[in-house]
Amino acid sequence: MKILFLTNKLPYPPMDGGSIATLNMITGLNRDGHQVSCLSLNTLKHSFPIEKIPRSLSAEIRFMAVPCDTSINAVRMLLNLFFSRIPYIAERFNNPSFRERLIQVLSQNQFDIIQIEGPYMGHYLEVVRQKSKAAVSFRAHNLEHIIWKRKATNEKWPFRKWYFLNMSKRLKRFEAQVVEQTNCLIPISPLDEKAFREMGFEKPILTIPTGLNLKEYRQTELPPEPSVFFIGALDWLPNQEGLLWFLDQVSDQLREEIPGLQIHVAGRNAPKSFENLISKKEIIYHGEVENAKEFMSSYRVMIAPLFTGSGIRIKILEAMALGRPVVTTPIGIEGISARNNREVMISDNPEAFKKQIVKLIRNDILSQELAAAGRRLIRENFDTFGLSSRITRFFKEQV
């Protein structure tokens, strides 16, 4: 089959969860024998020269990119709030140059499947329907409106709470409109599938988690030094919220229990205000790291405290694939079939969260057993090439 992916950022380099999820699906489908193309918005925030994509990829997959600026503009945001029903977070990805390039690509090629990655590419479904006879697949990395609803639930300030709820309602309506125009849906977790069904979607659905190629994740010995690490996009509100919770409510008590403990934090695009906040804590801040796998392999225990979000936290999957024990929250582990005290440790209580870390720092056998079970879970449930074969069957039989 000829498959075209439409993405709101170039999926290379695979530095964050969304890029990893998209690139692994693309490469998996290509390995399954499909002719795959990818047309992306090349945003200023995540800009990457398309000519620098490795030849091993670009020789097999056609990558196309349209430069654009999706930066937040305060004036446009206010105008959107009062004079538009489209959520501003989605409106930023409605780009005339991308639309023109898409028309050109569709006029020169015939595709069997066109897959939009995330709801924001729904802006271009009208063009797709006008210019192509391809079936449209919607890959839902998460439910955006749920993220904002949970954010509102945890917000104390009245105006911010109102704004987050308003954004959630707009996003839910926008996501429903996008889903209605597609032929099939590929959510990333059973919880997301259930939510889409409750929104009224009755067409074919295949729930497929993010896949990883275990050959790219070499397991190493756990470092003996007491250390924990956090890694994730620091311009994403759920990551900021969870990290601040850990630093405010867990880290000081943890250091009292484990003298000499090192806390390492890495992540891209942290706002200066957030960097100033975390600089007041006794942590080692790395900013954006060149090699996330090397960073994760350098320390002992991953922490993933999340209280809002949807979909699957891919950095947790990567840490488990690398053989690193993970301590997370119930929302952090959503979409991953891992069990408490078996493949991961789970709590959203500060004292219990601290105790779980202490156990993993002090008990080598427990840490090794948890790490081995986590890697085994990844091998059995998240192999990217096995998942791609399921998608191929789904497209051929249902779409």
Instruction: Write out the H or E segment, with its range, that includes residue 278.
Output: helix 272-279
pTM of the model: 0.85
Tokens standing for residue 239: 């990551």
Same domain, 75 and 138: yes
Residues 99, 168 share a domain: yes
**What would you measure as the largest C-alpha separation in the chain, in angstroms?**
65
Q: How far is Cα 263 from Cα 378, in angstroms, rounded to an integer?
A: 26
| 186/44 same-domain check | yes
58 in the same domain as 22:
yes
The total of structural domains in the chain comes to 2
Query: Which contacts of 175-180 are long-range, i.e. CB under 8 A and separated by 24 or more positions?
Result: 175/119, 175/143, 175/144, 175/145, 175/199, 176/200, 177/122, 178/116, 178/119, 178/122, 178/125, 178/138, 179/138
> Is residue 196 domain-shared with residue 182, that is, in the same domain?
yes
Q: What is the pLDDT along the chain (399 residues), one digit of tens a residue?
A: 999 999 999 999 988 888 988 999 999 999 999 999 999 999 887 789 999 999 999 999 999 999 999 888 888 888 888 888 889 989 999 999 999 999 999 999 999 999 999 999 999 999 999 999 999 999 998 888 888 888 888 788 888 899 989 999 999 999 999 999 999 999 988 888 998 999 889 999 999 988 898 889 999 999 999 999 999 989 888 899 999 999 999 999 999 999 999 999 999 889 898 998 888 888 999 999 999 999 999 999 999 999 987 678 999 999 999 999 999 999 999 989 999 999 999 999 999 999 999 999 999 999 999 999 999 999 999 988 888 999 999 999 987
- Tell me the HSE value of 138 on the side-chain side, using a 13 A CA sphere: 30
Looking at the fold, whether 230 and 201 belong to one and the same domain comes out as no
- Co-location of 311 and 231 in the same domain: yes
Contact status, residue 187 vs residue 205, Cβ threshold 8 Å = yes
CB atoms within 10 A of CB 58: 14
- In CATH, what number is assigned to the domain containing residue 281? 3.40.50.2000
Beta strand residue intervals within 224-352, DSSP E: 227-231, 262-266, 284-287, 301-304, 326-328, 345-346
Tell me if residue 66 falls in helix, strand or coil: strand
Q: What are the phi and psi torsion angles at 263 (to 5°)? A: -115, 115
**Residues 58 and 199 occupy one common structural domain:** yes
**Pair 26, 99 in one domain:** yes
Domain enclosing residue 269, as ranges: 214-381
